[in-house]
Each structure stands twice: as structure tokens, then as C-alpha cells.
Amino acid sequence: MSGAQSTVADLDVDLRQLFASLARNWWRILVVALVVTALALVGAWLAKPLYKAETRLLIETRESIFTRPSAGADSDRPILDEEGVTSQVELISSTDILKQVAQKFDLASRPEFDSAAGMSAIGRFLVLVGLRSDPNEMAREDRVLTKMREKLNVYRVDKSRVIVIEFSSQDPKLAAEIPNAIADAYIAVQRGAKQESNSEATDWLAPEIADLSNRVKEAEAKVAAYRAQSDLLVGQNNSVLATQQLSEMSSELSRVRASRAAAEATAQSMRKVLQGGGSLDALPNVLSSSLIQRLRERQVQLKSEIADLSTTLLDNHPRIRALRSQLSDLDRQIRDEARKVLASLTTEAETAQARENQLVADLNRLKAQSARAGEQQVELNALEREANAQRQLLETYMTRYREASSREDRNYLPVDARVFSRAVTPVEPYFPKIAPIAGAAFVASLLLMSVVTLLQELFSGRALRPAAGSRPEPVAEVAMPAPRPAMAEETPVEEEAPVKAAEETAVPASSLSPIVSPLPEPMAEERDVVEEWDRGEVHPAQEKEIEPVEAAALAERSEPEAAPETGKAAEDQTPGELGQIGIEKAAEKVIASGASRAIFVSPEGDEAAASSVLVAREVSDAGLRVILLDMSSSGAASRPMLDDKVLPGITNLLASEAQFSDIIHSDHYSDCHVIPVGTADPVKAMRAADRLPIIMQSLSAAYDVVVVECGPAGADGISRLVADGTEVFVSMIEAQDEVADAAVELIRNGYPDLTLVTPAGYRPPLTPVPGRSTPVAGASSV
């Protein structure tokens, strides 16, 4: 059914054949590696040794806390962040510093640093033909600087303020002296830059200070003149005199008002007592009068005498009457004196009122003066601020000038860097390292030659084989019974033939003859050619010689025997008495019906299981994705597809010992996939038989057709495997009673559309199908 497909896409790499080329060509690989290693040794031995030394600097603030200027401590502090240190790296490798070092050591006279001094004949030839630039086109100083930069490496240690200066040279002493000289030159340049900056600062500050002094004088003179002109005399607490008087007068006014209010309140209370005839003892001002106190004392004395005489004399006694008259006179005197106190309080309140009026008038006058003084004070404050700013700037300039002058006089300008590790003369060269170079050359040449050998083997085609897994060993062909004579007249097969034949009386097995004769044994020459092609041992140059022999052999083997009347293949010319069809017809039925599952029942056992294998391969060759699930107890369907290998299968999946990726394998003779019976315990696996519908659904979702070989199973055995879009086939070799009984049982249990199929008479394609190993042998092995 299927034609020839493209073999390029279905080729695979034979790793055994590929890596076997390394063993076949080991002497060539080893010789090339040894030659390359010898050349590397000679080159390393003849190369001029190079020595490398390094000097390390630390960027830090060298200013002491005792000498650091207090005025500019923050502004003068150097930048020590990552960008600042990187800038110092660029400064160290600057042209000026390199020129100083080159002149100090007279590097221009050394051939190592002047490429034009010791140019070889080969170099001159390359310059003449234009393959190399002429070094004489550059100045001698530029050539030295270029060579120095090639040998110099200045870098910053990560996450630190350490700068490393590396230099390599053929002279070990020079390799140590140059980085030290570069570090010294860098520190000298930094010190010179500070001295220049300090000198420029003093030169600029001197005239600025003189100018500021004059401006400060002028500003202070303006302040004094304006103060005198505006009568803004300063009193206590640096306040204007008018403002100070206003404050004092306000305090005095408050005191007078309080005194007046107190006098008026005391006079009012005394007036009420005198008018009401009440006791004057409760009035503090009355009690505080000395005259009233003496009168009170006399009154108490008289009352005491009257009380003493009342014990011996009557009330009308002249003595008692005289004392009582004196007591009444004392009361009158006390009241008169209280009226005088009241009059004095009234006078005091009036005086306080007059004083208050006077203070209010003075206060209003001072308010007007203070308002005018406030307006003038604004202008005065502006003048004072200007004068203060000029004075502070002058003081700052004078302080910095004195500090800069003292540093310049004493020549104290510390550089913010120091050398903490000087370069020493190296003893061993860093290049060339003979042992590492030889080892690296040997390993690299081995790897390179191995890769070249593998690529040659791969591109030659000797390491390619069809992509179908490992190749099977030659298997003996299964001999088929001899065919019976063709019938005189060909009878068409109806769809109801299996049902009618099953319902009729069973035909004895002896009356049913085989359909086709056995396939002839392959010729020895043909078998050798095919096996060599499978192993990938046929050289491309021999392909043209092999093609005619192979084509003739395959045509002779695959040519069907002619029928006596029709000349067709034995399968097409002789339908059996039970209405069975051939492999190709069965495959066409599966494809045409669009079935997703094909269930094969083999009542005759293992030999009839070949039908499911051949149908699966035919459908796969048609371009569909096909998988064969072997549910037979003996594994008769999967064994020939996997070359009798025992691999995990459906029982391992049901027993939860493997996954789908572990149980799906490739057919060694087609693009079909296969799930074998497996290696797990069948009893344990069948406990999970309820999972079979889920497994079949998953396989149907992944493949176009799922072919299931059930062996001699009944209707109950295949019930879990059947779903919508399922074709049921009964495999048969001969029309025996057991085939008819199995068909009748399936029909009676709900499978009326079953189809009988036989593998007898099947011929593999004449053209080898890509992906198959020896198509003839593969078909015969089934």
C-alpha cells in the first residue's frame, strides 16, 4: 500500500559505528597530537621569557586630624568612591607619567620597546608587501609608549580602593623597577597638583582679602551713620531706646491702673460701712490707722473700768455715767477718723486717675515714635546684614589664607595615596610555562582530531542508519501451508458473510485449504547485501553496484504467484469460505472508516496474532500514527516487533511500576509504536483492569489508531477496550471450528460488524520502507 518515503529525514546516527572510527584511526589522532605537542614544546622553548611584577597603591586620606583644616574639612576631602578610584587608574596610565618613566629608564634605546630597532627580515618583507604597518611611520616616542601600554596593566581590585600596577618585560629587573617608578611618578604628580592648587589659592585670596576689608569698613560706616541720622539709639538688650521706653511706660501704666482700682474699691467698701452704721473693725485701712488703734485701746480700757465698777455701783452712779459718756465720745472720734481715712482713699484714687491719664498720653506719643523707629530699623537691619556678611566672608578668607600660607611655607601637602606593596625582582618567568603549554596542546589536538574524525565518519555516511532503533538478528521465516487450487469462479464477499457463515453449520477444518504458499527462502547473495545495508557497511561507492542485484532479488522474492484464471495475488483471487479478507483490505477498512481503535481476537493462538502486527504496520506506512497494544498472555504480537526483547509494558503500567514513557517502544521494522505485555505480575496488574478504559482513551488522544491484540479473548474480555469508532477483527489462519465459534460468540454478544482477517498471502512492499530493517525478513519473522 505505502510507497517509498524520504530516507534522509528517517536516518539516525549509529553511535557505535561513529565512535568505532576513533578506534580505527587512533594512530592518526595520536601522531597528529604528538606532532602538535612537539611543535608547541619547540615554540615554548624558543620563545623569549617574560617576567612580571606588580606594585600596589592604596587610595586613602593622608591628612591627620591634627592638621586637617577645620573650615574646609568636608569640601577638601578627596572622592574615594568607585568612580574616584577608577579616575585614579586612568591617571596612573596617562601619557605624561609614562613619558617620565620612559625617559628615566631610556626605554627608547631598548629593542624590546622599539619595534623598528630590531626588525627581522621577515618583518621587513611583510612591511614591503603591505601585510604589516611600517613602525617607522610613527615617532620613536609614540612607539615606546605603545609598547609600554601593551606591557602595562593597571586595574582596581574589586570592592576596594587598591590599585595594582603590573608590568611585564624580558628583563626581570626592569619589570620590577618600572611599576615602582610609575607609582612614584603618580605620587609626585599628585603632590605637585596639590602644591599648584595651594599656591593658586593663596594668590587668589590675598587681593580678595584686601578688597573685602575695604568693603567691610564701608558697610559698617553706613550702619553707624544711618543709626545716628535716624536717632535709633540702642538701649539695654540691643533694643532701640524708643522701644525700650514704650515697654517701661506700658508697665508703669498697668501698675497705676491697678493702684487706682484698689483705692476706689477700698473707699467704696468703707463708705458703705459708714453709711450703714456697721462695724469698722472689718476694714483693713481703718485698722491700719495708728490714731484709730489708740482710740480702740482707750475704748477697751473704759469698757473694762465700767465692768469693774458695775460690780459695786449702780448704773446711775456718777462715776459710771462719766465713764459711759467718755465711751460714747470715743466712738464718735473713731467714726470721724474713719471718715478721714475714706477721704484720703478718695483723694488717692483721684490722683491715680490723673496719673493714668498722663501715662496714656505719653504712651500714645511713644507708640508713634516706636512705629517710626520700626520702619527705620528695617533699613538699619539690611545695612547690618550686609556688613555682617562681608565681615564673615573676610574672616573665612583670612583663615584659609593663613592655613594655605602656612602649608606652603612648611611644604606640608600630603598625597591621598600611598604605596603599601612595592614590586620585587621576579625569579621565574610567567611566560612561557612549558609544561602547561605542552599539556594544553596535546589535549587540544586530541580533541580537535577526534572531532575531525567523527565529522569525517558522519559526513561519509558510514555512521548513518535508518531511524528504527537497533537492528534485529536474522530470524527464521514461518512456513505457511501449501495453497489450494483456485476456485473456478470468484465469489464476491458481502458484509453479512461472517454472520451467515457463523450461523451455518461449522465446516470441518480438513475441508478448508490454505490460501497462499510459503515465501521462498532469500538468496544468499541478496541476504548478504541486505544485512550489510542494515549495518551501514555498504560504502557509498558500492551503492551503484548493489542496486541492480538488490532490486532483482527483491522483485523475485516479492513477485506473487499467478492465479490460474485471473492472474492476481493469491489473497485477491481466493476468498475463503468464511468471508475473510487480507491484510491490505483490513488496513484499508480501518483507514476508510476513520476508526480510532482496532480490536483483534485470535482464537487460533499466537500464529494468528500476525494479523494485528501487519495491519498496524500497513496503517502506519499510510502516514497515520499507530500504536499496537499487546494484551495477549504470551506476547505473540509484540515479540517479533521488538526482536524478542523483554521490556516493560501494559502490566507494568497497570501495576503502577512504570509510566507511559517507559512502556511505549518503537517497532524495529516500521514507524509503528508498540506496548508489549510487560514484566509485572499479571495477577497484580489485573486488579487494576478498571483503568483500561482510561488508558485506551489516553492512547486514542495521542495516536490516530490504537490496534489491540487480545489473543483468544471473548466478548467479555474486550468489553473494556471497545468504544465509539472501534473496528473488531477476528484473526484466522485456517477456517477451523474454533474461529467460527469465536465469531458466533462475538456476534451474539453485541459485535455483529466484526471482520475476519487472515495474514496468509500478504506480501511486503517491493521498495524498502524507510525506517524498516530488511522489509522481507521483517515480514517473514512475523
DSSP 707-752: EEE--S--TTTTTTT--TTEEEEEE-SS--HHHHHHHHHHHHTT-T
Which range, of 280-284, 309-313, 419-423, averages the lowest pLDDT? 280-284
The predicted pLDDT at position 121 comes to 66
The predicted pLDDT at position 277 comes to 65
Vertex 30: Cα angle to 24 and 33 (nearest 5) = 140
Question: Does residue 297 carry a pLDDT above 80?
Answer: no
Question: Does residue 765 carry a pLDDT above 90?
Answer: no
User: What percent of the chain has a predicted confidence (pLDDT) above 70?
Assistant: 74
Q: How far apart (Å, rounded) are the C-alpha atoms in residues 718 and 715?
A: 6
Confidence (pTM): 0.43
Question: Does residue 151 carry a pLDDT above 90?
Answer: yes
pLDDT tens for 617-659 read 999 998 899 999 998 888 888 888 888 778 899 999 988 888 8
Average pLDDT along the chain: 76
Question: Does residue 568 carry a pLDDT above 60?
Answer: no
The predicted pLDDT at position 3 comes to 36
The predicted pLDDT at position 481 comes to 39
Question: Does residue 616 carry a pLDDT above 50?
Answer: yes
Which range, of 111-115, 155-159, 385-389, 592-596, averages the lowest pLDDT? 111-115
Vertex 180: Cα angle to 430 and 421 (nearest 5) = 80
Residues paired with 234 in a beta bridge: 240
Question: Does residue 376 carry a pLDDT above 80?
Answer: no
Question: Does residue 257 carry a pLDDT above 60?
Answer: yes
Segment 332-340 shows an average pLDDT of 74
Residue of 601, 626, 690, 703 whose CA lies nearest to 654: 690
Question: Does residue 505 carry a pLDDT above 70?
Answer: no
Q: For the chain, what is the total number of helices (H) and then of strands (E)?
A: 24, 13
The predicted pLDDT at position 119 comes to 67
Segment 99-117 shows an average pLDDT of 86
CB 423 within 8 A of CB 53: yes
pLDDT tens for 692-714 read 888 888 899 989 999 999 988 88
Query: What is the rounded end-to-end Cα distance, in angstroms, of the chain?
Result: 18
The predicted pLDDT at position 53 comes to 95
The predicted pLDDT at position 676 comes to 92
Segment 395-404 shows an average pLDDT of 87
Q: How far apart (Å, rounded) are the C-alpha atoms in residues 711 and 733?
A: 13
Which range, of 137-141, 181-185, 227-231, 569-573, averages the lowest pLDDT? 569-573
Q: Which residue has the higher pLDDT, 476 or 202?
A: 202
Q: How far apart (Å, rounded) are the C-alpha atoms in residues 633 and 541?
A: 48
The predicted pLDDT at position 101 comes to 95
Segment 345-367 shows an average pLDDT of 83
Q: How far apart (Å, rounded) are the C-alpha atoms in residues 388 and 401?
A: 20
Question: Does residue 244 carry a pLDDT above 50?
Answer: yes
Q: Which residue has the higher pLDDT, 81 or 629?
A: 629
Question: Does residue 314 carry a pLDDT above 70?
Answer: yes
> In the chain, what's the furthest Cα-to-Cα distance?
200
> In b/e form, how buried is each residue of 178-198, taking b as 16+ CB within 10 angstroms?
bbbbbbbbbbebbeeeeeeeb
Question: Does residue 397 carry a pLDDT above 80?
Answer: yes
The predicted pLDDT at position 541 comes to 35
The predicted pLDDT at position 182 comes to 96
Output the DSSP codes for 348-399.
HHHHHHHHHHHHHHHHHHHHHHHHHHHHHHHHHHHHHHHHHHHHHHHHHHHH
The predicted pLDDT at position 496 comes to 37
The predicted pLDDT at position 77 comes to 53
Question: Does residue 614 carry a pLDDT above 70?
Answer: yes
State the pLDDT confidence band at 285, using cuts at 50, 70 and 90.
Answer: low
Which range, of 420-424, 548-552, 740-744, averages the lowest pLDDT? 548-552
User: What percent of the chain has a predicted confidence (pLDDT) above 90?
Assistant: 23
The predicted pLDDT at position 71 comes to 46
Q: How far apart (Å, rounded) are the C-alpha atoms in residues 534 and 256?
A: 135
Question: Does residue 446 carry a pLDDT above 80?
Answer: yes
Segment 470-483 shows an average pLDDT of 41
Q: Which residue has the higher pLDDT, 648 or 546?
A: 648
Which range, of 114-123, 267-276, 465-474, 626-635, averages the lowest pLDDT? 465-474
The predicted pLDDT at position 458 comes to 83
The predicted pLDDT at position 67 comes to 67
The predicted pLDDT at position 553 comes to 34
Question: Does residue 677 carry a pLDDT above 80?
Answer: yes
Segment 219-229 shows an average pLDDT of 84
Residues paired with 675 in a beta bridge: 629
State the pLDDT confidence band at 598, using cuts at 50, 70 and 90.
Answer: very high
The predicted pLDDT at position 284 comes to 66
| β strands within 433-584, DSSP E | 464-466
- The helix or strand, by DSSP H or E, that contains position 164, with its residue range, turns out to be strand 162-169
Q: Which residue has the higher pLDDT, 435 or 240?
A: 435
Max avg pLDDT among 121-135, 282-296, 477-491, 656-670: 656-670
Residue with cell 514513557: 661
Residues paired with 755 in a beta bridge: 729
Q: Which residue has the higher pLDDT, 580 or 573?
A: 580
Q: What are phi and psi of 730, to 5 degrees?
A: -115, 115
Q: What are phi and psi of 418, to 5 degrees?
A: -150, 150
Segment 571-590 shows an average pLDDT of 69
Which range, of 205-209, 276-280, 431-435, averages the lowest pLDDT? 276-280
Coil, strand, or helix at residue 78?
A: coil
Q: Which residue has the higher pLDDT, 358 or 506?
A: 358
Which range, of 348-362, 372-386, 573-587, averages the lowest pLDDT? 573-587
Q: Is 642 exposed, middle or buried (0-12, 13-18, 19+ CB in 10 A)?
A: buried
> Residue 457's CB: how many other CB atoms inside 10 A?
22
Question: Does residue 531 carry a pLDDT above 60?
Answer: no
The predicted pLDDT at position 754 comes to 86
CB 672 within 8 A of CB 599: no
Contact residues for 317 (Cβ-Cβ < 8 A; gap 6+): 309
For the chain, what's the residue count? Answer: 782
Q: How far apart (Å, rounded) are the C-alpha atoms in residues 269 and 687?
A: 122
